[in-house]
Structure 1
């Protein structure tokens, strides 16, 4: 049995990689997709999941097991959780980080394993901003937050945001970022991107969602600046644009670049006169292909404690579809869309990415256009690490399993 290359121990070469459809006529969910020089064998990705288990920003054996399990079981791209580009950018003191060179090696260990399975690894780079320096969520009541003090490795006197506006109870009131802070942040993204490349990561995602730093610059609720980074739509998106440009300039031409946004703050029912919403996200999305962004990862919420979110399965998928349709209507077809948010069922995952008749021509009311090109799944993978195989079985698609698991495939007529 041929051995996987570029790894210092024997493991069989998975050819084709797990999660590859073996028959003809597979649904779009189990067909390949090309992003620049990267080709994935299916449309199921593992979304970034904060696990608050790093040591001084360094990944540990936990992350090798946690992330490696998904790659082994057929996810075509596994994303490393939100990884801070500066030392004061973690949500908690236990966040993943890439602000110093010693943090490269643990990521490379994960990348080497993922690559040995014929799969791909991404990383989400970000900064927590005004939601930084809190304690791990399992130490507080669900839905609550508490500040991490210096005694447990926090930095409550060095939390920063676009404006000195506290997120809510249990968070530090941030200081307003200076021009120097902004330049140091951009440099942090650049340096972290270079380290991610050195670690062997295949995809970089810029985190501009969920109320973290770049997201909070987008919103007129959290950004009250009067300089060139605040006020108008053009000013509020300026920092994100500059980060995208700076990162794209230092990563390989063939490396895909992703951006995650909160497409709406869910503040439509609040008394705020203006908030970040889907129409503004669409206007931002129209700019992204020209900046070298390959996929927009559509999430929502997280920037205000008064948000009104009605959670349900696939609750954000329609927003992704709305954005994709608007882009196509504007003649923009070169920005892929990722859908995320409580995606749990096989048929739903299939329909999210399944193109219908008339896609290019947009001939009918729906245009035949799938809501997204990719589904990103998080919590369901925690419940079912083999979710790719379960989805394939439920859809009647024969897929490749890991060689070592060949005796464990689902039996015909099993209740899966």
Structure 2
């Protein structure tokens, strides 16, 4: 029996299969508000058969956004457009998740498809252009051309923690089934954890115990604010891929602490800092998921250039992960689970398509001579 299409339960949430959509920034919001782009972008994955769709990194504060085009959840007015999305996902068979984030020193960045702040005055007005001074564990730039961040003092850290709590409560009001704490990719919590970005000399810098302190404080506060019956995931960069950065062994220790707090799944990715030497290739992050799953005894999601259904199935069968997370592959093929089911599962899979489409796809395949009842 294929494992990819068997249900799995975390707390009170049962996912219909093991294929989920990883958060993908769209840089298409205006002042943090979701719009029709986000509805269609996320909604198509529910139609395509994914069991869980996780909305992009959503700023817990205006200055916590990666760019001025990122989603936010720092005010109640941002709840209704997100609730519209969760309702659509639910009606079409998918659970709804959201990744709550603070970009730290990587905030106030240009939109990736522009590459620089080259907006005209008219475009600035149209897109809701904003810029600000980022905050970080230390006054250290991400790159020589990045803005110099302001170092967070204890009061500032307490404020950020409370902003995360407030955003968590708004996520519940918006109808999300799970949240994911973003502690990866060189953003704020990852900055505290990594010696690459954390140069502090107080109780929040230096040894691993100190560097974990603030991320774990945030993790505890968020888990306490989120309903006990709903699962919480956390995304971590298992390695920085930089000498002197976070190691796999440190991440295993970190994951154990997160499990103890009550996080149900560790979403295993990597990197986030300038200068990383990343061995990019098919399935390149799967061993990181396996190391955390085995070392910390916690369920994991594997992500990163997983494109073939047979590979996804083998990852689960080998015990390297509990969930398969797709991002760019999902963009390329929003119907990936439906196509994978037809490849891996014997029998008629057309009934898994939305009724508006399944009969038409069946007839197309029959006409091409590839239909199998």
Length-normalised TM-score, structure 2: 0.92
Partner of 2:198: 223
Following TM superposition, the consecutive aligned residue runs of length 4 or more in structure 1 with deviations greater than 2 angstroms are 145-156, 396-399, 408-415
- Per-residue CA deviation, residues 137-158 of structure 1 (Å, 9 max, x unaligned), is 1112xxxx669999773333x2
Partner of 2:10: 35
SS in 2 for 1:204: strand
RMSD value, Cα: 1.9
Q: How far apart, CA to CA, are the structure 1 residues paired with 2:3 and 2:37?
A: 33
Q: Once structures 1 and 2 are overlaid, which stretch shifts more, 399-408 or 238-247?
A: 399-408
Partner of 1:383: 332
Partner of 2:280: 311
- Per-residue CA deviation, residues 87-107 of structure 1 (Å, 9 max, x unaligned), is 101111010000111100010
Correspondent of 2:258 among 269, 281, 288? 288
Q: How far apart, CA to CA, are the structure 1 residues paired with 2:213 and 2:343?
A: 45
SS in 1 for 2:179: strand
Q: Across the two proteins, how many residue pairs are aligned to each other?
A: 359
Q: How far apart, CA to CA, are the structure 2 residues paired with 1:297 and 1:231?
A: 25
Correspondent of 1:321 among 285, 290, 312? 290
Q: How far apart, CA to CA, are the structure 2 residues paired with 1:196 and 1:147?
A: 33
Partner of 1:139: 114
Partner of 1:181: 156
Cα drift, residue 322 of structure 1: 1.7
Structure 2, gaps ≥5 residues long: none
- Do residues 195 (structure 1) and 170 (structure 2) align? yes
- Do residues 406 (structure 1) and 355 (structure 2) align? no
- Do residues 118 (structure 1) and 78 (structure 2) align? no
Partner of 2:32: 57
Correspondent of 2:235 among 233, 238, 260? 260
Partner of 1:374: 323
Partner of 1:154: 130
Q: How far apart, CA to CA, are the structure 1 residues paired with 2:58 and 2:13?
A: 22
Correspondent of 2:341 among 392, 395, 399? 392
SS in 2 for 1:338: strand
Structure 1, gaps ≥5 residues long: 1-24, 269-273, 355-368
Q: How far apart, CA to CA, are the structure 1 residues paired with 2:360 and 2:238?
A: 41
Alignment of 1:15-30 (within 5 A): 25=1, 27-30=2-5
Partner of 1:3: none
Q: Once structures 1 and 2 are overlaid, which stretch shifts more, 373-382 or 281-290?
A: 281-290
- Per-residue CA deviation, residues 228-287 of structure 1 (Å, 9 max, x unaligned), is 11111111011111111111111111110110000000013xxxxx21010000111112
More helix by percentage: 2
Q: Once structures 1 and 2 are overlaid, which stretch shifts more, 374-383 or 170-179?
A: 170-179
- Per-residue CA deviation, residues 155-209 of structure 1 (Å, 9 max, x unaligned), is 33x2111001111043111111111110111001100000000000000000000
Cα drift, residue 409 of structure 1: 3.4
Q: How far apart, CA to CA, are the structure 1 residues paired with 2:338 and 2:224?
A: 38
Q: How far apart, CA to CA, are the structure 2 residues paired with 1:165 and 1:183?
A: 20
Length-normalised TM-score, structure 1: 0.83
SS in 2 for 1:28: coil
Cα drift, residue 108 of structure 1: 0.1
Q: How far apart, CA to CA, are the structure 2 residues paired with 1:106 and 1:122?
A: 14
Partner of 1:338: 301
Cα drift, residue 325 of structure 1: 2.0
Q: How far apart, CA to CA, are the structure 1 residues paired with 2:370 and 2:21?
A: 26
